[in-house]
């Protein structure tokens, strides 16, 4: 009878502590806002695991502390405790029950992954380029931005590539995270379901400025998204036609390349020391190279350094600038822009 009473008290305490720990953990707000269809099954699974964690915490802590206080040696007690052989029923149950729980978690985890990875053949395709230390987004018609615009309630298929090292695409509100491995095209499918502004962060230590590798992600209504893409397409087509028709390099086009293609992540325009040399007063100046020699920063040197960045490394800087795959005409535009930075 006494044993039954202990059992009832412990059971009640386990239930109370489970509820308390679960409510305490969820009150902290462990998750940021949920902003994608994929976040729904993930949050459901996460919530289930928090509940299980709370239950097992209670199941271990409550009997332990209960025993410490209730069954501790009373004053004057000097005898040994009761001798016990093994308990077959107990041993079988604490093997079988956890086995069933783990298999069940495996099954629902796999099903969760299936839901998250569901492919919509109508998905909107956007190219994502990761490089030290920035993100770049490419839409059809040569639209390049450093802000990711997405339509709401439509699956987006990001085809991600890295120009240099391992990066990782992570928008906490979307929940899913994907490594971007150099030499591979990584798929990332997400269906944003909440209009708003978020941040994509790099979640893989990728060098000295890893922590600055973040860009804005804007989820728009379908109408706003269509409007944005139409405007950008118009601008891109006009710019392309003008560039094609113009035989001369243009510093204005070079400036757009500087802002959109990642140059500005490493090269300042105001003389500040960045990851790469500043462009301030660069053109025509004398540049000391890492091997001790000196060159004049003329059109030939700048063109060569954009095409083959690691051929003539400037003293005090590490090699490692990626090849941005620019066309000759674009390089000429960039050099024309560098000329204007004084």
User: How near is the Cβ of 128 to ligand CUA at its closest, in Å?
Assistant: 12
Segment (H or E) for 287: strand 286-288
User: How near is the Cβ of 33 to ligand CUA at its closest, in Å?
Assistant: 23
Asked if 173 is part of the footprint of ligand CUA (rule: CB under 6 A), the reply reads no
**What is the C-alpha to C-alpha distance for residues 342 and 325, in angstroms, rounded to an integer?**
26
User: How near is the Cβ of 264 to ligand CUA at its closest, in Å?
Assistant: 16
Strands (E), 82-236: 124-131, 134-139, 143-145, 148-151, 156-162, 167-170, 177-180, 186-190, 196-202, 214-220
**What is the C-alpha to C-alpha distance for residues 103 and 293, in angstroms, rounded to an integer?**
66
Q: Omega before 329 cis (within 30°)?
A: no
44 φ/ψ sector (left φ>0, alpha ψ -120 to 50, else beta):
alpha
Give the binding range for ligand CUA (CB under 6 A) out of 7-15, 79-87, 198-206, 234-242: 198-206
Which alpha helices (H) appear in the chain, and where do they start and end?
Answer: 2-27, 39-70, 88-116, 222-245, 251-260, 299-307, 328-340
For the segment 114-133, give every residue that binds ligand CUA (CB under 6 A): 133
Question: Which of 163, 167, 189, 253 contacts ligand CUA by CB under 6 A?
Answer: 167
Question: Which of 143, 204, 219, 305 contacts ligand CUA by CB under 6 A?
Answer: 204
Choice between 161 and 204, CB closer to ligand CUA: 204
Choice between 180 and 282, CB closer to ligand CUA: 180
User: How near is the Cβ of 129 to ligand CUA at its closest, in Å?
Assistant: 12
Helix axes 251-260, 328-340, angle to 10 degrees: 100
Question: Which of 35, 62, 143, 202 contacts ligand CUA by CB under 6 A?
Answer: 202
Residue with tokens 């489970």, as numbered in its chain: 18
For the segment 206-225, give every residue that binds ligand CUA (CB under 6 A): 206, 210, 213
For the segment 272-331, give every residue that binds ligand CUA (CB under 6 A): none
Choice between 14 and 128, CB closer to ligand CUA: 128
Choice between 148 and 202, CB closer to ligand CUA: 202
36 pairs with which residues across the strands? 192
Binding site for ligand CUA (CB under 6 A): 133, 167, 202, 204-206, 210, 213
């Amino acid at each position: 009878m006494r044993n039954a009473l202990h059992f009832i008290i412990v059971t009640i305490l386990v239930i109370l502590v489970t509820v308390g720990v679960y409510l305490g953990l969820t009150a902290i707000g462990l998750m940021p806002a949920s902003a994608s269809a994929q976040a729904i099954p993930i949050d459901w699974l996460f919530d289930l695991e928090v509940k299980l964690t709370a239950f097992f915490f209670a199941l271990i802590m409550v009997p332990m502390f209960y025993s410490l206080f209730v069954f501790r040696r009373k004053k004057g007690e000097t005898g040994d405790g009761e001798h016990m052989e093994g308990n077959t029923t107990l041993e079988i149950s604490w093997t079988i029950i956890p086995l069933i729980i783990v298999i069940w978690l495996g099954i629902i985890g796999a099903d969760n992954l299936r839901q998250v990875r569901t492919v919509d053949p109508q998905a909107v395709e956007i190219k994502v380029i990761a490089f030290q230390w920035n993100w770049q987004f490419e839409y059809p018609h040569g639209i390049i931005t450093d802000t990711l615009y997405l339509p709401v309630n439509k699956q987006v298929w990001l085809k991600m590539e890295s120009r240099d090292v391992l990066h990782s695409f992570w928008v906490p509100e979307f929940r899913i995270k994907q490594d971007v491995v150099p030499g591979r095209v990584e798929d990332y499918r997400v269906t944003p379901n909440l209009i708003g502004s978020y941040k994509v962060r790099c979640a893989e230590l990728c060098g000295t400025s890893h922590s600055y590798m973040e860009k804005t992600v804007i989820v728009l209504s379908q109408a706003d998204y269509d409007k944005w893409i139409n405007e950008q397409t118009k601008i891109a087509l006009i710019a392309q036609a003008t560039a094609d028709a113009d035989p001369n390099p243009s510093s204005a086009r070079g400036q757009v390349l500087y802002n959109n293609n990642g140059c500005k992540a490493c090269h300042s325009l105001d003389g500040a020391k960045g990851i790469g040399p500043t462009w301030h007063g660069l053109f025509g100046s004398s540049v000391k190279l890492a091997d001790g020699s000196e060159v004049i920063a003329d059109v030939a040197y700048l063109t060569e350094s954009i095409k083959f960045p690691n051929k003539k490394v400037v003293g005090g800087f590490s090699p490692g600038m990626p090849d941005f795959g620019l066309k000759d005409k674009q390089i000429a535009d960039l050099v024309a822009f560098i000329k204007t930075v004084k």
